[in-house]
Each structure stands twice: as structure tokens, then as C-alpha cells.
Amino acid sequence: MTLSKAQSYAAPAHARPYGTIAVIGAGAWGTALACVARRAGRSVTLWGRDPDIVAAIRDRQENPRYLAGYDLVDGIEATTDLAAALAQAEAVMIVTPSKTLRKICRKMKPHLPERIPLALCAKGIEAQTGLLLAEVAADELPGHPIGAISGPTFATETVLDHPTAATVAFDFSYEDRLNPQDSPAARFAISLSSPHFRPYVSDDLVGVEIGGAVKNVIAIACGMMSGAGFAENTRAALITRGMDEMKTLAEVLGGRRETVTGLSGAGDLTLTCSSTTSRNMSLGTQLGQGLARADCFDGKPVVVEGEVNAVSVIDLAARIGVSLPICEAVHAVLHRGAPLKKTFRDLWARPIEAEPKGLDFSLNHPFGETV
């Protein structure tokens, strides 16, 4: 029987794992990724700023601040010495908040071995510049392959070794296309693979990054509506139309719409919009219930990536002439003091549009003038 192109397959290729991986950032996700790499058989050094957290990881296999009560994988070397963490690294995962990426790249620069690949594991767009995080890292660390690891991954479940999948994305050079098994994306994927952690490989770094940045903002919208008393119809609509906003922005910036239907887009969006385990969803829920921002999370200064990303996503969209109505609504509530319920009533009363993009028209909403 002859297989069609869609049915055909190639024999699996062999890729060489990176033997030693440095993880920069000892928060919840950085610690979880250190566990992933260690389970996969890699030598792992985890760098963190806080000496108490580092000591607890090193001596007791726990992260008492970010993953209290969870046992970590044995054998993770933890340190506050950035030079020591990077000295022997063959590859690096950077897992610090998006707003600190440029700063940490500058600190890393004197200590990085030449040309080793860097995978970014935070999600966002840099404020002021509108650069994707890979562009920020490339600006500060030229000569290094820059990629991203993204997907539907809660840190606690990953530490518990629940079956989890993620996307590893790097731009592919001509040589990578000739020998994809030797590409940084493939080598990172093999380096993290274990019985319960399954990576996928992508060459669409832009599409993966846009999915990661925008989904946080959409999750806040879902939380707002959930907190305000609405349920599954509303959340399903926001997820679906939010994914269209992700696709639109990715396509304009040179990514592929189909990437957004994968793990780093639809997968991550669905997870983040479905549980208050997500800080983005949780923030939105608390705001929807009527709490002031200062009172959310019991008044603790919790970093919520979607709150920061709402500004950078809307600034970028405005500069390139893209309309993102859900993101704009979240931005208006978070950063312009717009009333939450009226903002979302107005969102629902916008002109009626066609859903297939090939059908280009709009109709005035009959309640658009009265809400």
C-alpha cells in the first residue's frame, strides 16, 4: 500500500542530548524544569537569587517559597553564583520574569560559554520596545541560538511528574533543515524527554512566543467573567475568540496561524483559562468579584505576567495596526480604570463580524448604542 503524504512518516532520528543544563531562575517553573531535566538524566545546576531558597533546594530537595510541600528530584545542584552555574553548561534555560529578562541576560553575558543555546521559559513582550523575548535575548546575547519552551504546564503538576507535553521552538537555519536532529530544538527536546514529559519540536518561534504572551491576557479576561458570575458559555467564547486574537497577531508578525492551535497556543490557553491555579485566571477572578487590585492575593505583591503583558501586547498591536478586542478590554480594566462590567458589555455589543476570515463584513449590533 502506498501512503499519501499526509500518512507517510520518517524513521525516528537520533539526537544528542545536552549533558549539562543550567536553569536560571529558582521560582516555581524554574524549579520544575530543573526537575524535568534531572529526571531525563541531565546534570542540572539551578541558579537563584535567594540564599535561603537555594540552600533548601540543595540540602533538603524542597523550594519552601514557591513549591512548599513538594519533594524535588534528587541531584539538582543549586547555587547563587551565576558564574558557577554557567561555567560548564552546554545549554541554558532562562526562567525569570519577562520584565527582568534583559537585565538577567546582561548579567549572564560575561559567563556564558560561546554559542551555547538558550531556551526562554517566560512568556511576554517587552514593555516600551514591543520586542518578543527572543528578540530581547538576541539583542543582549548575540551569537547564541535563542529559542523558547512553552505549553500547558503548571509547575506543581510537573514536579509531581504528571504526564505533560510542551513545545520547544527555535528558528531553523539552513543547516538545521538539512540535519534537523542536530538542531538546538531537537537536542533540547531529547534532553528533557522522560517517561512523563513529552516535548514537541517547532521552527515557528514567533508563533510560539505570541501564544505564550497573549494567552495570559485572555486568562485574565476569563477570570474576570468567572468572578463576575458567568460560566462556561462565556469562558468558551473568550477562549475561542482569544485564540483568534493570538492567531492574528502571530500571523502579522511572521508566525503561522496553525502554531497557535498547538500546545503553546490552544493548549496553554485552555489550561490557563480553566483553573485559578493560574495566577492570571486567579487575578481576573478576584477582580471580577469586586476586589480592588491592591487587595488581590491577600495584599501580597504577586507578579502576574498577564497584567504586565496587557500593556506590551496592546502597545505592540497599536503600532502594527492590529485589533485585539479582548486584550483591549483587559487593558482598559487593569490600566485605565475602566469599569469591568460595562467594559465587557461593550465587548459583547461590538459590531457583528464574520468568523471565517474570507467573509469580510460587519453589522451594527442592535444593542451597541444602548449599553
123 is catalytic: no
Phi-psi region of 68 (alpha: psi -120 to 50; beta: other; left: phi over 0): beta
C-alpha span between 241 and 318 (Å, rounded): 19
C-alpha span between 170 and 208 (Å, rounded): 9
Amino acid identity at 63: N
C-alpha span between 119 and 110 (Å, rounded): 18
- Closest by CA position to 264, among listed 301, 213, 196, 329: 213
Q: At what angle do helices 232-252 and 205-227 cross, to 10 degrees?
A: 150
Contacts of 43 (CB under 8 A, 6+ apart): 19, 20, 21, 77, 88
Could you say which of 215, 300, 341, 357 is catalytic? 215
Q: How far does Cα 53 stand from its chain's mean position?
A: 24
Active site members? 215
